[in-house]
Amino acid sequence: MPDTPRPRQPAEQISELTTARLSLYLRCLEAMDAEGIRTVSSLGLADHCNLNAALVRKDLAYFGEFGVRGVGYFVKHLKRHLKMILGLDRHQQVVILGAGNLGFALADYPGFRAEGFNVVAMLDTDEAKVGTRSKSGVVVCHMRDLEQIVARDHIDIGVLAVPHGAAQAVIDQVIATGVRAILNFARGTLRVPPHVKLKSVDLSVSLESLSYFLAQSGDPNG
């Protein structure tokens, strides 16, 4: 039966590219579910995601999801299963380090809450900012309260939105409180111990895929 929970797979062999595709499948399934679509074939899901059907089947089979012959996948079931695999079957508690423009933008980023991430607070050393709130109500606390907030709110993930020069010192403080997963927006190399997962976002990479497109397709102005 589609509702039977299946064992989780070990994480080590799964690349970040695969987890990014799982996120993409989840987005598509959420859109389908919202439209009242009950079942989808691997081909239908692949078309929706601009991927090929064999890759979709392979990804899902790896996680023990095989679909039903003649039916495909049950949308609600597959959605729930992917959420479980991605750790989204419970809320993830997030704290943002740095209350600059980026920190405020991330605090109010609608996608985080929609996908089950709960931004608890922004932390900053600027006393003038402490106590202020983002538009969506996320409060700025002082960095000195980091340890207390991590313990009180069971923080899972720290988001690093400080300038490059402060990044290593702040990441060291966050890791010392026991946080094991960090999303980093600062540039440059950061050192973390082996038990900590650091994911760095380089926004220039996205711009470069666009400049690649422009360079290769020929610039009518250029």
The set of residues, in sequence order, having a beta carbon less than 8 Å from that of 129 and lying 6+ positions away, is: 99, 140
Q: Which is nearer to a copy of itself, 3 or 16 (CB)?
A: 16
The set of residues, in sequence order, having a beta carbon less than 8 Å from that of 75 and lying 6+ positions away, is: 29, 32, 33, 37, 38, 39, 40
Interaction pattern, residues 19-48, with a copy of itself; x per rule: CB under 8 A: xx-xxx-xx---x-----------------
CA distance 67 to 29: 14
Interaction pattern, residues 116-155, with a copy of itself; x per rule: CB under 8 A: xx----------------x-------------------x-
Stretch that binds a copy of itself, among 36-44, 71-79, 156-164, 168-176 (CB under 8 A): 156-164
**Cβ of residue 214: shortest distance to a copy of itself, in angstroms?**
5
**Cβ of residue 69: shortest distance to a copy of itself, in angstroms?**
29
CA atoms within 13 A on the CB side of 137: 2
Interaction pattern, residues 161-200, with a copy of itself; x per rule: CB under 8 A: ---x-------------x-xxxx---x-x-------x-x-
Task: Tell me the residue ranges of DSSP E strands in 41-194.
Answer: 73-74, 92-97, 117-124, 139-142, 157-160, 181-184
- Of 156, 162, 167, 171, which lies in the binding site for a copy of itself, with binding defined by CB under 8 A? 156
Q: How deeply is 186 buried, as exposed, middle or buried, from its count of CB atoms within 10 A (0-12, 13-18, 19+)?
A: buried
Is residue 1 near a copy of itself by the rule CB under 8 A?
A: no
